[in-house]
Chain A
């Protein structure tokens, strides 16, 4: 609450003047009561105007001052104490101001795009939260079967909390099936990899091996990206993804593996390495539209904020049609009123 309305700001002083008038008219009790109210108002407004850590002290000091020095106390509080506190707070905040972040509807919460299949066009997240058991809720969760993992998985996990057991069971079954498919592919590819490593003299061996590593890396990455693993398991899965992507990239330098390595490193909070892989991906032919948002993300992690607008401007056409990216790009590239 940076601002207090003019009338409220001058409330204690005005009340003190009224109290003085009442006393002058011989209304001692009324005057005393208004004086107490003025002290309370000064304490309350001081409490509201000061940072959390100083609130109680400021309120007590202001209240005591007004109470002990009729009229003069209120004047001191309004004309000296409050402006001083205000200056101190501005200095402490370093002159920053709050600007709302763009709403990243794509951040796995399905709040902007993942809409209910029925007539109700509100986001699934909202509907799932409020819904009692019904066929509509069930259909809603069914619709998540075909949504991409990153959007669907958080919503499916949200559905676990739904009061209807049908909805919970279906959400679990969908999630389990997605994970099962991924893990089944991983198992098949791991077996294939072992076979390939045992027969290095086959024609086209290097290319097939690289392809196998690439697909494994992609699947391990999807286990993390889709939210199927968390905590220690996620760290380990990311490392596996990185190992296979690196093997694919070493075997045959390709843009896709380098981009994947960049994404893995970004998730591992190793932005400098991610940056290097992004440069390597571009050298191997990665389209700027694919690398630009990742470059921007890496720049953000590296605190190279001044580079972000330029990097995002490299995105073109289709990429900018994605509402999430478009909003981020707008946030960083459009001039803002100071």
Chain B
């Protein structure tokens, strides 16, 4: 029996803990009347251990694909790659170059290039399309790469360019092969663009099945930041310090590649879902058709946190918690710095960092060193991954110092537990804390929103809320009212049930 929904997951559920994983788990459990299959795409096998979640009983299938295997088992052999097979690849490159330059194509050219893109998606690794062996060893592929290198007026050294092209294309071929074998499902649903989105695009074209795309963060944006910071790209070409040189061109190649994957996913998916207006706008900028985009906000099981409300002590607990993985994007160091200032005003305050540290142990070490160097060894505790329903009643405040977020579940969970929140002004945090609409805002503020990386503003807000029982209570009331009215799990599950039903019943159009 085929699955109703095949979830395409990159670097997340069920092998990694975090907001997206928790959301996927919640979705599967909440829609227990649907059968789910899972396709996990990861980088290296060694980076993922055992699944971190017990799969719900409605998960019928799990398969993994690791990109390090892209060229595994291919040995050099003399292969010819005829020009007829290369022609669609040329068109596809031209298509993406035009899109990258944000140039409008004439209607006739656009149709021709769009057809070529479809041909590539359906034929890659099939009989009439380019195969991995032809790409790796075909003389035509070699000539094509040389030709593209010469077209680049500020190219990197050919050897760097050649290997970059090889590395970039490996996953494309691998996912094309995977798309041929993945079990049938009535709907394919990717939880990001990137490789998962590309796989969705392959499946949509080949199986002619609905493809749904949900984005929590914006994958392309995050990749762009990662790539701009990638030390290994500098090491690959040591002169990569100036933007005009070859190293920077290689960086651009990588960025363009992920932008192209994103466009392919946006082109194939319908609907394209996001968590809040800011990200939806970003999807439009990146090429998603506005008529396909929709917002479905996160939701939580509020009842699960009602007990936490009952367990709260009468006095404001002198504990500020940060719930999140210990990774740079959560900016735990700013939390520590803010706590140092809070402790100066209120010496009995403690800071609890609640979240796993296994993802970036170097960063975890840095945070602990900072705690020591600030003399906060007694006040800051690193608790690791814990059940938040047990800890939330003991928090006076939740502090989220992230430099990037979408719509954090941690905020909703704290609000449902009656814990006021201080968060940085990123993603949908302001909407969550202050309200998204006029009616929502009339409920009051559930805490404070401050600029990011501003430990002084964070500490001021924390001291204010810890010192003022009246203000603290007012935030609690607003938090509970808002989360109950707008962020219930049932709303989110109903919305997704509707999306799946429309797709399965044929009200879907790519």
Contact = CB atoms under 8 A, between A and B. Distances in A.
Interface of A: 117, 139, 142-143, 145-146, 157, 160-161, 165-166, 168-170, 172-174, 176-177, 180, 183-184, 187, 232-233, 236-237
Contact of B225 (A157, A166, A184): A166
A168 B278 CA distance: 15
A160 to B, nearest CB: 5
B228 interface: yes
Contact of B453 (A117, A160, A174): A160
Contact of B451 (A143, A160, A174): A160
B228 to A, nearest CB: 6
Interface in B90-110: none
Interface string B391-408: 000000000000110000
Contacts of B454: 160
B340 A232 contact: yes
9 contacts: A145-B241, A165-B426, A169-B222, A170-B228, A183-B366, A184-B362, A233-B337, A236-B373, A237-B373
B328 interface: yes
Given A169-B404, A172-B403, A233 B373 contact: yes
B229 A165 contact: no
Contact of B366 (A142, A145, A168, A180): A180
B369 A168 contact: no
A117 B374 contact: no
B221 A172 contact: no
Interface residues on B, range: 20 to 34
- Most A Cβ at <10 Å: residue of B228, B231, B373, B454: B228
A169 B369 contact: no
Contacts of B222: 169
Contact of B224 (A146, A157, A166, A233): A166
B229 A177 contact: yes
A166 to B, nearest CB: 6
Contacts of A145: 241
Nearest to A169: B225
A238 to B, nearest CB: 13
Interface in B366-392: 366, 369, 373-374
Lowest 8 A-B CB distances belong to which pairs?
A173-B229, A169-B225, A172-B403, A146-B241, A160-B453, A173-B225, A176-B328, A169-B404
A115 B243 CA distance: 14
Contacts of A169: 221-222, 225, 403-404
Contacts of A157: 453
Nearest to B234: A145
Contacts of B365: 187
Contacts of B453: 157, 160, 172
Given A117-B243, A172-B453, A183-B366, A165 B221 contact: yes
Nearest to A146: B241
Given A183-B366, A236-B373, A166 B243 contact: no
B137 interface: no
Interface in B302-318: none
A165 B404 contact: yes
Interface of A is mostly: helix
B71 interface: no
B347 to A, nearest CB: 14
Contacts of A187: 365, 369
B373 A143 contact: no
B486 interface: no
Given A172-B403, A173-B228, A233-B337, 18 more contacts: A143-B243, A145-B241, A146-B242, A161-B451, A165-B221, A166-B224, A166-B225, A168-B452, A169-B221, A169-B403, A169-B404, A170-B225, A172-B452, A173-B328, A183-B369, A232-B340, A236-B373, A237-B373
B220 to A, nearest CB: 10
Interface string B223-244: 0110011010000000001110
Nearest to A181: B231
A177 B373 CA distance: 19
Interface of B is mostly: helix
Given A168-B403, A173-B229, A160 B452 contact: yes
Contacts of A146: 241-242
Nearest to A117: B243
Contacts of A174: 229
Contacts of A177: 229, 231
B22 to A, nearest CB: 23
A139 B373 contact: no
Contacts of B328: 173, 176
A237 B242 CA distance: 32
A233 B455 CA distance: 13
B243 A139 contact: yes
Nearest to A183: B366
- Most B Cβ at <10 Å: residue of A117, A161, A166: A166
Contact of B221 (A117, A166, A184, A236): A166
A187 B340 CA distance: 22
B343 to A, nearest CB: 11
Contacts of A173: 225, 228-229, 328
A117 B248 CA distance: 14
A142 B221 contact: no
A309 B222 CA distance: 53
A170 B242 CA distance: 16
Contacts of B362: 180, 184
B366 to A, nearest CB: 6
- Most A Cβ at <10 Å: residue of B231, B331, B403: B403
A142 B228 CA distance: 8
A246 B451 CA distance: 40
Interface in B433-470: 451-454
Interface in B46-74: none
A165 B217 CA distance: 12
Contacts of A168: 403, 426, 452
Contacts of A170: 225, 228-229
Nearest to A184: B362
Contacts of B242: 146
Contacts of B278: 165
A158 B76 CA distance: 52
A160 B403 CA distance: 9
A237 to B, nearest CB: 8
A166 B282 CA distance: 11
Contacts of B331: 172
A177 B230 CA distance: 10
B286 to A, nearest CB: 11
B278 to A, nearest CB: 8
A237 B228 CA distance: 30
A6 B281 CA distance: 60
A177 B362 CA distance: 12
B477 to A, nearest CB: 31
A135 to B, nearest CB: 10
- Most A Cβ at <10 Å: residue of B229, B369, B373: B229
Contacts of B231: 177
A139 B224 CA distance: 12
A146 B247 CA distance: 14
Nearest to B244: A117
A170 B426 CA distance: 14
A325 B454 CA distance: 32
A187 B362 CA distance: 11
A146 B240 CA distance: 10
A201 B164 CA distance: 50
